[in-house]
Amino acid sequence: MRHAETVVFGGSNLNRAAELRDEPERLAQLQKAGQAIVLWRGKPFFDYESNVLVRFSSDHPILEQAASDPVFLGLEDDIALFAYDISPWQAPDADPRAMARFFDTSFNQFPGTPPPQVFTELRSIMAQLSPRDAELAATARGLFEWHRIHGFCARCGAKSSPQQAGWQRKCPSCNALHFPRTDPVVIVLATHENSVLMGRSHGWPQGMFSLLAGFMEPGETMEAAARREVFEESAIRLGAVTYLSSQPWAFPASLMIGCSAEALNTDITIDPKEIEDARWFTREEVLQATVSENPDLRPARKGSIAHFLIHNWLSDTLT
């Protein structure tokens, strides 16, 4: 595996067994002896003692809270893995204020489960997960979010229904088929000599900066999108753009495409509609932030591709 693929959510070579998605009878058999992971409002059920996603048997009471069929994730050592969404369940300890914040730090217990096992924000545990659990959690979260916001046919407006073990929706009115979408986003390690360009969005916590990023547009290459986004947000022009790594980012449905480029100028002019601030940070300033010794800069969250790219830039291990 290339170093670039070691980014969190980078994949674990899970056998997704796509050929089984249109075999409902076979899947029903596999489901009885299979294992399940569970999400509640986008938060996976996680064991903080062993740092793993909790796997449930097919007859566990928690699965009765699901309002829809599970999603088939794939096979692991010939054991079928499914994901259940129990978002309709009303958690007695839910805090709407915490869940509405920039980052949800609340935990939610399910009755009858041990205290170390809770529903928790995926971004808070992503760096603790094994590659396999990270892939499972990101896949399940992305699929459930897609079903949540794409319940109606984009062609005729009729309510669609899940097919293919959760990997497709079909419109009963016009027979249109809809598939999970992934939106490509470029995230750019723009450097000039000993410094890296970072910006912050409106509403981010104090001191939080990250690499500049933006959605690709139709008819645009990755390289063109990187140059356009960085220039729009900071007025910095880029030279040659090089692909480095990618990360599935299920918040809600992006593929982060990490790349690097050398800046051709250094004078920053931000677009206040796009970002709140942008600055050049030296290697020394970024390194200080990683050990909490720079009060003006909070390092990118561990597990994010921004952290991955910056860490490897600091370590001179980008390639």
CATH no. for residue 266?
3.90.79.10
Is residue 3 pLDDT above 80, yes or no? no
Q: Indicate whether 98 and 197 sit together in one domain.
A: no
Angle at CA 7, nearest 5°, toward 3 and 9? Answer: 135
Is residue 183 pLDDT above 80, yes or no? yes
Q: Indicate whether 136 and 159 sit together in one domain.
A: no
Domain count, the chain: 3
> Is 86 inside a domain boundary?
yes
The whole-angstrom distance between residue 236's C-alpha and the CA centroid of its chain comes to 27
> Is 319 inside a domain boundary?
no
User: Where does the pLDDT of residue 300 fall: very low under 50, low under 70, confident under 90, or very high at 90 and above?
Assistant: confident
Among residues 251, 261, 203, the alpha carbon closest in space to that of 229 is found at 261
Q: Indicate whether 192 and 231 sit together in one domain.
A: yes
> Is 203 inside a domain boundary?
yes
Q: Hey, how many other C-beta atoms are within 10 angstroms of the C-beta on 289?
A: 20
> Is 24 inside a domain boundary?
yes
Residue whose token pair is 């990755």: 222
Q: Indicate whether 25 and 139 sit together in one domain.
A: yes
Mean pLDDT of 292-305: 88
Rounded to whole angstroms, the maximal C-alpha distance in the chain is: 63
Is residue 1 pLDDT above 60, yes or no? no
Q: What is the DSSP letter of 172?
A: T
User: Where does the pLDDT of residue 292 fall: very low under 50, low under 70, confident under 90, or very high at 90 and above?
Assistant: confident
Q: Indicate whether 274 and 143 sit together in one domain.
A: no
Is residue 98 pLDDT above 70, yes or no? no
The pLDDT value given to residue 100: 63
Tens-place pLDDT, residues 112-168: 999 999 999 999 999 999 999 999 999 999 999 999 999 999 999 999 999 999 999
Q: Does the model's pTM come out above 0.75?
A: yes
The pLDDT value given to residue 102: 64
Q: Take residue 318 and report the two structure tokens written for it.
A: 């980008």
The pLDDT value given to residue 295: 87
Q: Indicate whether 19 and 59 sit together in one domain.
A: yes
Q: Indicate whether 141 and 9 sit together in one domain.
A: yes
Q: Indicate whether 15 and 144 sit together in one domain.
A: yes
User: Where does the pLDDT of residue 99 fall: very low under 50, low under 70, confident under 90, or very high at 90 and above?
Assistant: low
Q: Indicate whether 214 and 265 sit together in one domain.
A: yes
The whole-angstrom distance between residue 34's C-alpha and the CA centroid of its chain comes to 25
> Is 214 inside a domain boundary?
yes
At 39, phi and psi to the nearest 5? -120, 145
Give yes or no for a cis peptide into 252 (omega within 30° of 0). yes
User: DSSP string of 170-200?
Assistant: E-TTT--EE----EEEEEEEEEETTEEEEEE
Domain that residue 170 falls in: 150-180
Among the ranges given (128-142, 227-241, 284-298), the one the predictor scored with the smallest mean pLDDT:
284-298
Is residue 97 pLDDT above 80, yes or no? no
Q: Take residue 189 and report the two structure tokens written for it.
A: 């390690």
The whole-angstrom distance between residue 171's C-alpha and the CA centroid of its chain comes to 28
Pairing of strands 117-119, 43-47: antiparallel
Q: Indicate whether 26 and 95 sit together in one domain.
A: yes
Q: Indicate whether 261 and 159 sit together in one domain.
A: no
Q: Indicate whether 175 and 216 sit together in one domain.
A: no
**Which residue type occupies 230?**
V
- The mean pLDDT of the chain is 94
Distance CA(136)–CA(9), nearest Å, equals: 9
